Structure 1
Amino acid sequence: MMDVVFSRSACGSLKMAQHYGQGEYTGTVGVIYAAPQGGQGAAPAPQVQQAARQAAEQRARREWENARPLGGDPANVFSLEGGWSMGDIAESQFPQGRRRLLERLFAASFSGSPEEQEQIIRESLDELQANLQTVLERSARGEEMRIWYSDNPDDACGLCWLLAKLHGLETPGPVTLIKLPVWEYGEDETVMAYTGWGEISPGEWGRYLPLAQPARPVLLRACAARWQQLQRENAPLRVCLNGGLQSVPENFYDGFILRELDRLPEEFLEASLVGNVLGRCQLGIGDSWIALRIEAFCREGLLEVVQDGPGIRRRLRQCTADGNF
């Protein structure tokens, strides 16, 4: 069986999940302490650090002991990460449309050299094309495929795109779908809400197996028709609204960014704004698109760069209503 996800982080976690929990626990943990407001102040007391390490160790051991290993071969886990909710998705523009999207996103958020950027883009596209070819060929031979998806925009679009590809095969193999729940109960009377499979730890994947549902040919046909419609519209963005995919304009997320901007002082680090949007709004998108829209705000005069820096490490200043600073 093949396992397919739509992000590299989910792919890495799923590969570990195949044998996570087998044998005696031998793991190690690390604890990261958040700096106080302003980044100043002493580190936590030694007894506080020790208690945090012990609690983390207990959680890790408990997860290992309670894990349900999936089994299988990591070579059968494939990531089809392509940023399918963003940019040009016209069939005739694959993979060029993905390249143009990555170049735009990297220009707004990447802190490495142009050579490093080009290498990452090239490797990402090569991996995407190779994985796609492999899963389609193996499905055409009748092999079963299990697809893990969520309401995350890239997952929802990736699922529709992939099912459309499978519909194009003469006789695709069986397809099983597992959708990440919108919410679920955690420990100590907490409620957990995830934005994608990349947030699921290796020991947790097995408990979602009972959620598996077969994807019947009628679903493949419906997704193929919907994806073709989205391709014709070819909007800058696609989002999942009320369970369905919709084309939306490039500024769709701007309201969330502006709301978090109102919480910040006149001068602020760009990374703070990006982090607040991702943390508070839980949009299921990455930092690159937020950085891209912040760059548009700078061009439009809503923000000014006070101190330049690599990626999203710039210091910015807000404009007043009359356009002054």
Structure 2
Amino acid sequence: MYWICFGDSAKGLLRYVRRDLDDAAHILAIGDDYSQGDITDVTDRDARYPVLAPWRGDPELDGDRLEEQIGRHFAALDQLDKVDEAVIWYAGGNPCEQCGLRYVVSRLQQRQIPVWVVEVGWIPVSEIAQANDRVRDTSAVGVITDSHVMNTLLRLVPQPILRRYAARVEQRNLRERAAQSSRAGMAYFSTVGETAPNILPYFYKRRRMLTETEQAILLTEWKRMQEENTPLRAMVDGKLQSVPADYYDDIILSCVPEGENVAALTVGRAIAKLDKTGNRVGDMQIFSRIRALSTAEKLIIVRDGATYRDMVIRKIRG
């Protein structure tokens, strides 16, 4: 049995829950984003490199670490030919994972092996609360933040205090996610990697096997997108469609500040705004469009930088 997912974040979560759901499962993580770029032959390293390495030039991520990650991706592609039974984990409102689903099925379909799917998406808030309660009943709790300093301090905090802190964070995040939801009492996850290990069993219990007809449809859709080979694929009215490179530009421009500010602000705002349209778009994809919009004289780069943390932009006045 092989579990197939998209991205290292999803792989890390699946490793954590594997011991409880299927300890014998092998996990393959596809590291490419087939919603972007030339998909005529996704095994062509040169053709896929611009998408596989969008952060090239960032001193924190370039070099050996980058090549190692690309190597892991192509090794996973090679292993697809060894899969005897598959469970594909993907999110419904996510063009990257939707494209990945179609590609993987296209690789597996002709061999007529069992293919299951686990679709991450809507979940009742009550289910998350119950899952969080079960976590708090465990013998130890760990909390990881984006701050290295904070992480160091939290490791020194006694477990009783850490449990209370983790519970408050869980409840706050739960309230925020429920408040942003368009369905009362429900929360939505647009990627597998943004869930949590204690939530994944809810979706796994609802897995289903794809019929031959469903696999044939997904294969046909993948071939169609390969023939169209547009710069982007996106969720349009809930369906995966080929779209032009500037498809997200209007929303990105609406997130550019009037005054001078770091591009990271626009990137963060655009990710949140696009998420509401059913499209989870990566930060580097938005960053590349900021450069394209500058070239098209639709915004001003006040100070350029290798990353969006270093770049300063503003709207064109008047």
The TM tier, using the shorter chain, reads 0.7 to 0.9
Q: Secondary structure at the match of 2:317?
A: coil
User: 1:126 aligns to what?
Assistant: 71
Query: Following superposition of structure 1 onto structure 2, how do residues 136-147 of structure 1 map, counting pairs within 5 Å?
Result: 136-137=81-82, 139=83, 143-147=84-88
- 1:207, CA displacement in angstroms? 1.6
Q: Distance in 1 between matches of 2:223 and 2:305?
A: 41
Query: Following superposition of structure 1 onto structure 2, how do residues 157-172 of structure 1 map, counting pairs within 5 Å?
Result: 157-169=99-111, 172=112
Residue deviations 1:181-219 (CA, integer Å, cap 9, x gap):
245435487332211000111111112122111112222
Query: With structure 1 as the length reference, what TM-score do the two structures score?
Result: 0.73
Q: Secondary structure at the match of 2:242?
A: strand
User: 1:258 aligns to what?
Assistant: 253
Contact kept? 1:70, 1:206, Cα under 8 Å = yes
- 1:303, CA displacement in angstroms? 2.5
Q: Distance in 1 between matches of 2:194 and 2:49?
A: 26
Residue deviations 1:48-93 (CA, integer Å, cap 9, x gap):
xxxxxxxxxxxxxxxxxxxxx224147x111012111000000276
Q: Distance in 2 between matches of 1:289 and 1:296?
A: 11
Residue deviations 1:268-321 (CA, integer Å, cap 9, x gap):
110011011113431311101100000112212222332333311211232124
Contact kept? 1:307, 1:315, Cα under 8 Å = yes
Q: Which runs of 5+ in 1 are unaligned?
A: 20-68
User: 2:242 aligns to what?
Assistant: 247
Contact kept? 2:116, 2:210, Cα under 8 Å = yes
CA RMSD of aligned residues (A): 2.2
Q: Distance in 2 between matches of 1:296 and 1:183?
A: 37
Contact kept? 1:88, 1:101, Cα under 8 Å = no
User: 2:160 aligns to what?
Assistant: none
Q: Distance in 2 between matches of 1:174 and 1:271?
A: 43
Residue deviations 1:71-129 (CA, integer Å, cap 9, x gap):
4147x1110121110000002762332113334x225xx5217xx52434432332122
Residue deviations 1:235-277 (CA, integer Å, cap 9, x gap):
000012344321000011111112222xx23211100110111
Distance 1:238 1:214, change over 3 A: same
Q: In structure 2, what residue type is equivalent to 1:207?
A: Y
Work out which of the residue numbers 25, 36, 58 in structure 2 matches 1:111.
Answer: 58
Contact kept? 1:176, 1:214, Cα under 8 Å = yes
User: Is it true that 1:70 corresponds to 2:21 in the alignment?
Assistant: yes
User: 1:211 aligns to what?
Assistant: 206
Higher mean alpha-carbon deviation, 236-245 vs 89-98, is at 89-98
Contact kept? 2:4, 2:27, Cα under 8 Å = yes
Contact kept? 1:166, 1:220, Cα under 8 Å = no
Q: In structure 2, what residue type is equivalent to 1:2?
A: Y
Q: Distance in 2 between matches of 1:150 and 1:317?
A: 34
Distance 1:308 1:100, change over 3 A: closer
Q: Distance in 2 between matches of 1:97 and 1:293?
A: 19
Contact kept? 1:2, 1:135, Cα under 8 Å = no
User: 1:316 aligns to what?
Assistant: 313
Percent identical across equivalent pairs? 25
Pair member with larger Rg: 1
Question: How many corresponding residue pairs?
Answer: 258
Runs of 4+ in 1 over 6 A off after TM superposition: none
Q: Secondary structure at the match of 1:284?
A: coil
User: 2:221 aligns to what?
Assistant: 226
User: 1:52 aligns to what?
Assistant: none
